[in-house]
């Protein structure tokens, strides 16, 4: 028996890294999981990994920024698993530049993926959650506590040079979270944010032999942190190291577990003690 038996979760950006670990953690606790990734292959891989450990999952590939994606994503949870209990807005990437060199495209792309996409998903989920609550009340059964976890960053709390777009988007996530916590309390939904510090993923780890990059909808985005800079960053963390994707997923799980049913509108910092 898991803490999330019978729950239905949707997780964006779940094909790799932190998102994949979140999906697997929720599934290990009993939740059915709708997994999203920009690419079909990683989304299918995570869904398969969930099923291999005895969970239920379905992949939904596509960009979270596409028109109509939010409705399709939320609809998959209802169509395949009959409900919606947990929403994790995790998808994202960074596209850095100092402000005087940052283009409108850079600004818009990062605001779209980190702030507009979660807004659209939550907007699409509202009618579904409202109807589920009304059905429970009509049937005379208790309304279960549902969960929203929006992923943020310490950059959104304290800023970070070269990341005006990312920091602004993540600061916006805090405002979105606090507002939805007040709007959705009447549905017995808790809405919280988990702000990550330095986590070792493909976005922070530079491959051997030089710079790395990823393709995001036709854009080549440089990723990775210079090893010397990475070592310096780790020395500023009281725990003395970057976090792992599994540890990041654990922090998200805390906000999904029944033990946090009376915690809402909060930001949990998962940063190894890093002082912002």
* b/e sequence 23-62, b meaning 16+ C-beta within 10 Å: bbbbbbbbbbbbbbbbeeebbbbbbebbeeeebbbbbbbb
The Cα–Cα gap between 124 and 35 comes to 17
Q: Token digits for 33?
A: 């999981």
Are 159 and 268 contacting, i.e. CB atoms less than 8 angstroms apart?
no
Query: Helix-strand-coil percent breakdown of the chain, rounded to 5?
Result: 45, 20, 35
Whats the size of the chain, residue-wise?
276
Give, in order, the Cα–Cα distances in Å from 99 to each of 105, 152, 165, 221: 13, 20, 9, 17
166 is known as an active-site residue: yes
Q: DSSP code of 163?
A: B
Query: Any residues with CB less than 8 A from the CB of 118 and at least 6 apart, and which?
Result: 89, 150, 173, 176
From 166, 187, 253, 262, the catalytic residue: 166
**Residues tagged active-site:** 166
């Amino acid at each position: 028996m898991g803490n999330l038996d019978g729950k239905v979760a949707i997780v964006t950006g779940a094909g790799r890294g932190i998102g994949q670990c979140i999906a697997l953690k929720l599934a290990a606790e009993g939740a059915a999981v709708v997994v999203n990734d920009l690419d079909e292959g990683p989304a299918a891989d995570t869904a398969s990994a969930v099923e291999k450990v005895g969970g239920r999952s379905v992949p939904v590939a596509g960009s979270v920024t596409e028109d109509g994606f939010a409705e399709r994503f939320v609809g998959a949870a209802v169509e395949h698993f009959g409900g919606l209990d947990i929403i994790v807005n995790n998808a994202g990437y960074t596209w850095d530049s100092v402000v005087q060199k940052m283009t409108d495209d850079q600004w818009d792309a990062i605001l779209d993926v980190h702030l507009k996409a979660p807004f659209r998903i939550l907007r699409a989920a509202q009618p579904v959650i409202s109807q589920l609550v009304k059905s429970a009340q009509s049937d005379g059964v208790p309304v279960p506590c549902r969960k929203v976890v929006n992923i943020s960053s310490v950059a959104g709390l304290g800023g970070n040079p070269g990341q005006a777009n990312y920091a602004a988007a993540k600061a916006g996530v805090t405002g979105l979270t606090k507002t939805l916590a007040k709007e959705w309390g009447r549905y017995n939904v808790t809405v919280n944010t988990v702000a990550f510090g330095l986590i070792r993923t493909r976005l922070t780890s530079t491959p051997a032999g030089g710079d790395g990059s990823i393709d995001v909808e036709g854009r080549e985005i440089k990723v990775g942190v210079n090893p010397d800079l990475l070592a310096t960053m780790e020395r500023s963390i009281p725990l003395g190291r970057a976090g792992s994707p599994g540890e990041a997923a654990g922090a998200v799980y805390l906000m999904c577990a029944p033990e946090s049913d009376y915690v809402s509108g909060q930001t949990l910092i998962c940063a190894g003690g890093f002082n912002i």
